[in-house]
Amino acid sequence: MIRARRARIVATLGPATREPEQIIALARAGADVFRVNFSHGEHSDHATAIARVRAAEAEVGRPLAVLADLQGPKIRLGEFRDGRVELTRGQAFRLDRDPTPGDSHRVCVPHPEIFAALKTGADVLLDDGKVRLKVGRFGVDFAETEVISGEALSDHKGLNLPGLAIPIPALTEKDRIDLDFALAQGVDWVALSFVQRAADMAELRQIVLGRAGVLAKIEKPAALEALDEILDLSEAVMVARGDLGVELAPEDVPVVQKTLVRAARTRGIPVIVATQMLESMIHSPTPTRAEASDVAAAVYEGADAVMLSAETAAGEYPMEAVTMMDRILARVERDPRWPELMAAEYPVEDADADALVAAARRAADSASTGCLAAFTTTGQTALRLSRERPLQPTLALTTRLATARRLALAWGVEARVVDIITDPEDLARVAVDEALAAGLCPPGHRVLILAGLPMGSPGAANILRIAHAPLRR
């Protein structure tokens, strides 16, 4: 089942999409990657969801990826005596570590790291920025603040410190337990939330040890200061605009998005643009025009994937949301100006680029080329081709199902599992047969083949061949 587009769709599973037939319907509507959010639900729920994605994969006949999204150190307030309080602009409000339920003048913050990170005059954002406080006097276990904006606050709302690095590890004890479970379930990607420093990704990689791809969620402004080092240790990245939008000014978020997409494309790692893409479709069968334009902008920038969160996890119209996302992506990719605009977002010529990949990319411009075929063990050859954004589809041929599933996130890549090839003379036959079977190459057109010798060994491609699909079979 081939999609008529290169950009990919990530759909979040949840109460609205937990049944087997719903997951199959999402895949048929165009979802390529299914996100399992470990901020909600029990392990038994997640195990069921993952098993149902695997069943859907067999039903639709193409690899589907599972992305395990770890919760990370979400910092929340304690409780209020009556569950909710009213605040007044200009009033004093104390944050402290006293576990006694709070009132309109104070509340517990059970995270000592917060007080260690504070500075006089710093902003404290509560409830996704709906309440803003200004820090005055503070110590190791308290902070006296002034209410700058916001009128109401309730139990367990989130807390953010814009512009300040919080000395707290990105992997919590809960995350470690969830990670062990996710890896045991055979997930394809693991996303680490609230990454702030390269050491966060290094720790994740050390635990994962190649059993899944590792993805950095960029949600904290502190991560932007160490972006190069973080991306050097990441195999994919997510522009998580929700929390970024809390700590950054709204006008800064589009600039950061463009910066992150460019940085990921330069490195050749998949990049997902996420949060509020079709948010009105949580309760409406159609998106706003602004939302459609937002999704389209990510495609014009060359993002590998766009993500739906509550739209599919808890929304009233999950199938319609995926269908609409698919329609927007396909429409942008039919725009004659799309290749030029996408190329303008990646203007850097890489002198160290793989010479064969560059040659294949140039050869693919011929009108007689139907598709590119990359024989790959780890997926790296297919990702290098994807980085160059050829307009012809890339057929990734691998003996590893795990590799095929992981490549479901990559722009323009269709992955298929094939038997081990020992004779290089079989390359053309297998590539042409698979390209025709997948409908990626019209009869009589060329298939450009990238492979490496010895066959089956991870490493750089060192063979570029041209084969022709027969007019008749």
Taking CA 209 as the corner, what is the angle to CA 208 and CA 210, rounded to the nearest 5 degrees? 95
Which residues are catalytically annotated? 35, 76, 217, 275
d(CA 123, CA 467): 62
Close Cβ partners of 202 (under 8 Å, ≥ 6 residues apart): 233
- For β-strands 159-160 and 189-192, DSSP reports them as unpaired
Place of tokens 């990245």: 237
User: SS3 of 417, please?
Assistant: strand
Beta bridge mates, 273: 239, 306
Q: Are 80 and 103 in contact (CB under 8 A)?
A: yes
Return the axis-axis angle of helices 380-387 and 355-363, rounded to nearest 10°.
50
**Residue 15 three-state SS:** helix
- For residue 412, what are the CA distances in angstroms to 43, 89, 370, 415? 33, 51, 13, 10
Kindly report the number of other CB atoms within 10 A of residue 286's CB atom: 14
Q: CB under 8 Å to 178, separation ≥6 — which residues?
A: 38, 43, 68, 70, 71
